[in-house]
Amino acid sequence: MTVIEKEFWSNVFSDLGFKKTEKFGVQAFEVPTYEIVYMAQVLGSRKEPDSKKGPSMIVIPGDDEEINLPQQCPWVSIKGPMDCMLNPMLSPSLDLELSNNFPNFFENDKKYLLLEYVDPESIEDEEINRSDLVDFRLGYSDKHSLDYIDEPITEYITSSYFRKEGYIVDKFSESLTLRTEGPDLFAIKYPELQNTLSRLSVTEGGFYLNELELFSILGEKLNRKPVEGGNKSAVIEAESTTSSGRFSAGRTQVKGYLEEGCYNEGYVALARESKRIGKEEKGPAEIGFDPFEDIGIFTTNCKGNICFRKSPMRYGREDKVNVLIENVERIVKLALLKNISLNKVFDIDELTDVKSFYDLYFKVDDLDLEQIVDFIKRENSP
């Protein structure tokens, strides 16, 4: 990275609330382990022969071999005779993929995100767990300059911001509403469910779905942040920084999704567009930008400081938003059930007559969160 790039990303990660530090003579940030899992799901973590080309990614050297975290959020959508669903129980287990293949990965609850490359062979500290080192790499294609920020990076930054603002946020395989083509991100507020999970020490308020699936490994969270207000759903379209026209393209897509009635708010996420929301000396209209007062925007200024304008209009039909929220509750319960083996899942009294994973999706409504969390704790106790 150049000095300008380093400053940009330093400001981004500082604004996301991560602690700045130094490791092996380079700038780094202390980042929770679940953040790295989600970052890998969005960006990918495979090393490529030429790291200056292709998509952005993270690289984790590991003690014996490079750690390749699973890419893309593993939520499988299926169609049934009466309904469609996103069912986490049909996807691979993060527990098995990570803790079995990379046992040192969950040794500590935080990682060090390095803003410059450090050769693993040069690290002589025998006490360092190399699984705690994360090399943040920007990928560039031949047609893009060094200030190009691609969609996956924007998706991750936006996700982290919304999580800290108290939302359930994930890519949901880009198909929470089970369209043929879905938006990039969804952000959901469901205070009753979130505050129950927080009281049970499963989450802190906002969360990613991987935090639920890895609850038995990551352990309890005690930094509770109450989620207030009513149920809310937001749809987000992320764009790369190829041109200012990308904002208009993203807005058109967001407006189309809002017409479905499932979302209360809509956002375009696009870096380095702070002028659009009046974060400069002059307002948007004064410098030739249409302010588009009908949707919100998540962006940064040219230095990497995060800028956010809340969606100024309230959209959504109550009945459709409630169906979406109901589906999210099922997904949350099923993600939690992945903390225990399948044979134990079907030992739960309310689930003994389940004959398929399709049935399980609806039958999980008979369980409350306290039951599920208590069962997980009992099954994972020493």
For the chain, domain boundaries: 3-137
Instruction: Give the integer Cα–Cα distance in Å for 330 and 315.
Output: 24
What pLDDT does residue 239 have? 87
Does 3 score more than 60 pLDDT?
no
Select the highest-mean-pLDDT range: 42-56, 59-73, 159-173. 159-173
Helix (H, G, I), strand (E, B) or coil at 41: helix
Chain-centroid distance of CA 94 in Å reads 15
- Give the sheet arrangement for strand 232-238, strand by strand: 168-170, 185-189, 232-238, 265-269, 296-300, 306-309
Instruction: Say whether pLDDT at 118 is over 50.
Output: yes
Read off the pLDDT of residues 181-192 as tens digits, 9 standing for 90 and up: 678 899 999 999
What does the pLDDT average to over 100-119?
85
Q: What is d(CA 283, CA 121) in angstroms, rounded to the nearest whole number?
A: 51
User: Which residue would you say has higher pLDDT here, 108 or 99?
Assistant: 108
Q: What is the pLDDT of residue 283?
A: 55
Longest CA–CA span in the chain (Å) reads 65
Between 99 and 236, residue with greater pLDDT: 236
Q: Tell me which of 128-142, 202-216, 349-363 is least confident.
A: 128-142
pLDDT grade for 211, boundaries at 50, 70 and 90: very high
What phi and psi values does residue 178 have, to the nearest 5 degrees?
60, 40
Mean pLDDT of the chain: 83
Q: Identify the three-state secondary structure at position 34.
A: helix
Angle, vertex CA 329, rays to CA 235 and CA 345, nearest 5: 140
Q: Quote the percentage of the chain above a pLDDT of 90.
A: 41
> Is residue 81 very low, low, confident or very high in pLDDT (cuts 50, 70, 90)?
low
Q: How do residues 36-47 score in pLDDT, each as one tens digit?
A: 999 988 887 655
Tokens in use for 47? 């090393």
Tell me the pTM. 0.90
Q: What is the 3-state secondary structure (H, E, C) of 253-306?
A: HHHHHHCCCCCCEEEEECCCCHHHHCCCCCCCHHHCCCCCCCCEEEEECCCCCE
DSSP 77-107: EEE-SS-EEEEGGGS--HIIIIIIT-TTTTS
* Per-residue model confidence as pLDDT tens digits over 274-288: 887 765 555 555 445
Tens of pLDDT, residue by residue over 120-158, are 777 776 677 888 888 887 765 555 555 678 888 899 999
Of 19-28, 42-51, 188-197, the one with minimum mean pLDDT is: 42-51
Amino acid at 117: Y
> Does residue 305 register a pLDDT over 90?
yes
User: Is a pLDDT exceeding 80 seen at residue 2?
Assistant: no
- What is the distance, to the nearest Å, from the Cα of residue 346 to the centroid of all Cα atoms in its chain? 29
Instruction: Please state the rounded mean pLDDT for residues 307-328.
Output: 90
pLDDT for position 264:
94
172-176, 215-219, 260-264: segment of lowest average pLDDT: 172-176
Roughly what angle, to the nearest 10 degrees, separates helices 369-379 and 191-199? 30
Confidence label for 50 from pLDDT (cuts 50, 70 and 90): very low
Task: Say yes or no to pLDDT of 376 above 90.
Answer: yes
